[in-house]
């Protein structure tokens, strides 16, 4: 699938370029989400690196798996769909996730994401940072 290949390229060949440093995404390991089965994270830039201001994460959700309903009391969150399909519930409104979609979750807004049969691949951002 063309879009899946785009995510693979992004997650392995991508780079974070800062005025004083550069980080290859390929050097950042995937980690298993501590709460949701079938979800993996690649922490591109973390709270420690930004003084808590923001964090960026690549997210893989396996086919048919989900990030269950939850809220972030103090954070605005965004999702940019890179590949795959799914359904997101954002403050009770169902949104179709497909490549090119951007969704914004206000502070304390309940949300969940269900991956479709082809999985779901996101770029998630948190302001202030997620731990």
Instruction: Give me the DSSP letters along 19-68.
Output: TTEEEEGGGSPPEE-SSSTTEEEEEEE-HHHHTTS-EEEEEEE-TT-EEE
Overall number of domains in the chain: 1
Establish if 95 belongs to a structural domain: yes
| Rounded distance between C-alpha atoms, residue 120 and residue 115, angstroms | 5
The range of the structural domain enclosing residue 95 comes to 2-11+29-127
CATH number, domain at 47? 2.60.120.10
CA-nearest of 91, 92, 115 to 105 is: 91
pLDDT of residue 1 exceeding 50, the answer is no
- Tens-place pLDDT, residues 4-39: 578 888 888 899 998 998 999 999 999 999 999 999
| Rounded distance between C-alpha atoms, residue 128 and residue 99, angstroms | 25
Establish if 19 belongs to a structural domain: no
pLDDT the model gives residue 110:
95
Residue with tokens 């605005």: 76
């Amino acid at each position: 699938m063309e879009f899946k290949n785009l995510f693979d390229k992004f997650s392995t060949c991508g780079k974070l370029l800062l005025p004083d440093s550069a980080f290859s995404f390929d050097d950042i390991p995937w980690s298993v989400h501590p709460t949701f089965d079938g979800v993996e994270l690649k922490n591109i830039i973390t709270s420690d690196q930004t003084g808590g201001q923001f964090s960026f994460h690549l997210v893989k959700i396996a086919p048919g798996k989900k990030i269950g309903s939850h809220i972030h009391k103090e954070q605005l969150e965004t999702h940019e769909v890179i590949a795959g399909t799914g359904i997101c519930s954002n403050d009770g409104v169902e949104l179709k996730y497909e490549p090119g979609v951007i969704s914004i979750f206000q502070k304390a807004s309940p949300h969940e994401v269900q991956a479709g049969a082809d999985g779901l691949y996101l770029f998630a951002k948190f302001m202030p940072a997620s731990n």
